[in-house]
Amino acid sequence: MSSHPPSSTKHVIENNIKSIAISGLHRGENPQPGPSVIASIRRLFPNFRIVGLSYDPLESSLYSEHSDRPDIAYSMPYPEIGPDALLERLETIIRKEDLVLIIPCLDLEIPNFISISAKLREWGIQCALPTKLSLDAISKSNLSDFCRQLNISSPKTKTVISQFQLEQVAEEIGYPVYVKGVFYEAQLANSKQELIKASEDIAKTWGWPLLVQEALIGEEYDIVGLGDGNGNVIKTCMIRKFQRSSTGKGAAGIVIEDPELERLTQCIIGQLRWNGPFELEFLKAQGKPHALFEINPRFPAWVDFPSQIGCNLPGRLIEGLLGKKLTPLNTCATGQMFVRHCIDLVGDVADIAEMSSTGERTITPYKIKLEVT
Amino acid sequence: MENKVIKKHNLQKLRFYGDEFVFNTVSGMCYRITSTAGFILRSLVAGKKNEQLVDLIQARYGIDQTTAVRDIELLLNNLAELGIIDKHCSP
């Protein structure tokens, strides 16, 4: 992208350059959506300044030379610390940036952003968020009940608070089962030994309670979309994940057009009156109905794929929130596909030092110096 | 041959790439198939009835009617098992 605005803070303030803040900036083994959202935004709005909200100086897009990098990154307090710390940090950032919009891209952040949404509105910062009620309804521990109400199939899931209960529930559901953290991480357990190891691993990072979920075997179908908050779906792109990493992340996906998945999406989003981005994840075993196993309250890491084929959902979100003219969204053509591709980015330890010591870093793409002899 | 009907709309979801590759636009599944299977599937998409398929296969491969009926039946069962086609018994 050639038309990035200059990124010095002084220049930004003096020239009234508008900024959009994005989080979830790491593209690694478990890619986060931020870089994909940034790339999508730049396709439609090359002149917006992109502010990265960063939780780690090693987040990969801080080293990118491509359109998926922020112009500047600010270190952020971890979401677990709570909404007050988030608000305080944003207060510092808006003294330096003319922030007009935030797109949180990590599940854990969403409750904090809902808590501070009134303050954001007061500051003139737009942010599309679901209601607390909708978010609670789709939490991993409540999803099963939500699906039952809508007569939608879903894997049996139970919340457990102790090792004893974990083993009891796993026996009840029957192996294999998934052990999941309330927010992140899932491990497949085929036996009691694997169950204990998985629970220890996950609880070490995410703590108790844990979830035990029936392991469904089948094809995975994912839908990314935008809800308007009134029960309508603005647009979706649906794919079959036809290559999955060992952790279940989609390494390749192909566009499909399934009327049944469309019906289910309308039903779910309509019931939740969902506002903003979402990702629905279904599993389908042959001869059985689609089973909803997760709803993510944000864009997925593959969201730049539909953007590249004419369905720019982050772009539409911005147009809607900022009252801009709406660009038509194409229906993604069946058979179009993506394959995830990893590359090595070049950085310097000085970059880490800057971010660690000052809490912010202007991102300058690394230029390869060629010496001619 | 058992009287089975493959509904036309169930075949519209299939997209062919040459004679040996088919993509199901609803399930997102891709299949490598033999050229004979491709020929039969294309014929079904073109609206041929099962009885007509027997004549077509006999003419194309020079086989007797019993073999043609059996092979088509086996293939349709295979395709249905794989979810490439939905097969419904007619009343």
Edge-to-edge strand order for the sheet containing A186-189?
A: A157-160, A210-214, A177-181, A186-189
State the pLDDT at residue B51. 84
Give which of B24, B27, B78 to mutate to test A binding, by max A Cβ within 10 Å: B27
Local confidence band at A10 (pLDDT 50, 70, 90 cut-offs): low
Contacts of B83 in chain A (CB under 8 A): 286
When pLDDT is cut at 50, 70 and 90, the band that residue B7 belongs to is low
- Domains of chain B: which residue ranges? 4-83
Q: Does A338 touch chain B (CB under 8 A)?
A: no
Q: Is A299's Cβ below 8 Å from some Cβ in B?
A: no
Alpha carbons A320 and A359: distance in angstroms, whole number? 32
Task: Give the separation between CA A304 and CA B71, rounded to whole angstroms.
Answer: 46
What pLDDT is recorded for position A292?
97
pLDDT in tens, A323-364: 999 999 999 999 999 999 999 999 999 999 999 999 999 998
* Cβ contacts of B30 on chain A, cutoff 8 Å: 242, 254
How close is the nearest chain B Cα to the Cα of A255, in Å? Answer: 7
Strands A275-284 and A291-296: antiparallel
Q: Give the pLDDT confidence of A18-71 residue by residue, as tens digits.
A: 999 999 999 988 899 999 999 999 999 998 999 999 999 999 999 999 999 999
In 3D space, the residue among A171, A165, A166, A169 whose CA is nearest the CA of residue A197 turns out to be A166
What is the residue-averaged pLDDT of chain A? 92
**Can you give the pLDDT at residue A2?**
37
Mind listing the pLDDT tens digit for each residue in B15-68? 999 989 999 999 999 999 999 999 999 998 898 888 899 999 999 999 999 999
Per-residue pLDDT reduced to its tens digit, A193-252: 999 999 999 998 888 899 999 998 899 999 999 999 999 999 999 999 998 877 777 789
Identify whether the C-beta of residue A105 lies closer than 8 Å to the C-beta of residue A135: no
- A257 interfacial to chain B (CB closer than 8 Å): yes
Q: What ipTM does the predicted assembly reach?
A: 0.84
CB A348 within 8 A of CB A327: no
pLDDT (tens digit, 9 = 90+) per residue, A162-205?
999 999 999 999 999 999 988 778 899 999 999 999 999 999 88
Output the pLDDT for position A314: 98
